Structure 1
């Protein structure tokens, strides 16, 4: 297995290693992917908790239940 991973963040989130691609959205869901993308984008600085709290509700049709599983 190669030590090189390719991460695609536009149009979803995919990780590829040795020609094997994993679609993270299908694996974990859009809400967790949104959170991961924000953390990756801001990896050089802390992210405020208020910003993190708003992430799951941004694209939800029912924002009041966005955090219920």
Structure 2
């Protein structure tokens, strides 16, 4: 599965090519255990459940990924 866009439970994780100056950018190593679990579940196509991340957060992993509420 390509890591481009995954949607589950009202949230999506979408690969983005760039980020804006106003975006909140966090490295995957900065995430709490709950945030990391939800993010990785979304990237891997699983259910993200209750997402402890903020709408619009950009996570730096293998690429930039934006977490969005649908």
What TM-score does the superposition give when structure 1 sets the normalisation length?
A: 0.26
Q: Greater strand percent: which structure? A: 2
Q: Greater helix percent: which structure? A: 1
The structure whose RCO (Cα within 8 Å, separation 6+) is larger is 2
